[in-house]
Amino acid sequence: MEITREEAFNLLKEYVDSKSLLKHCLAVEASMRGYAEKFGEDIEVWSSCGLLHDIDFEKYPDDHPFKGAEILKEKGYPEDFVMAVKGHADYTNTPRETQMAKTLYAVDELSSFVIACVLVRPNKFEGLKVKSVKKKLKDKAFAKAVDRDQIKNSAQELGIELTEHIQTVIDALVKREKELKEQGLSLIE
Interaction site with Fe ion (CB under 5 A) = 54, 108
Q: Which is nearer to Fe ion, 108 or 177 (CB)?
A: 108
Q: Which is nearer to Fe ion, 113 or 125 (CB)?
A: 113
8 in Cβ contact with 45 (< 8 Å): no
**Pick from 130, 138, 122, 141: which is nearest to 173 by CA?**
130
- Smallest separation, CB 77 to Fe ion (Å): 16
Q: Which is nearer to Fe ion, 61 or 159 (CB)?
A: 61
Q: How far is CA 188 from CA 25, 121, 125, 180, in A?
A: 12, 12, 10, 11
- Smallest separation, CB 108 to Fe ion (Å): 4
Q: Which is nearer to Fe ion, 63 or 131 (CB)?
A: 63
Could you give the angle at which helices 99-119 and 130-138 cross, rounded to 10 degrees?
Answer: 90
Kindly give the residue spans of alpha helices, DSSP state H, lying in 120-160. Answer: 130-138, 148-158
Q: Which is nearer to Fe ion, 42 or 147 (CB)?
A: 147
- Smallest separation, CB 182 to Fe ion (Å): 25
- Smallest separation, CB 128 to Fe ion (Å): 21
- Smallest separation, CB 146 to Fe ion (Å): 11
Listed in sequence order, the residues at least 6 apart from 130 whose beta carbon sits closer than 8 Å to its beta carbon are: 163, 166, 167, 170
CB hemisphere CA count around 114 (13 angstroms): 32
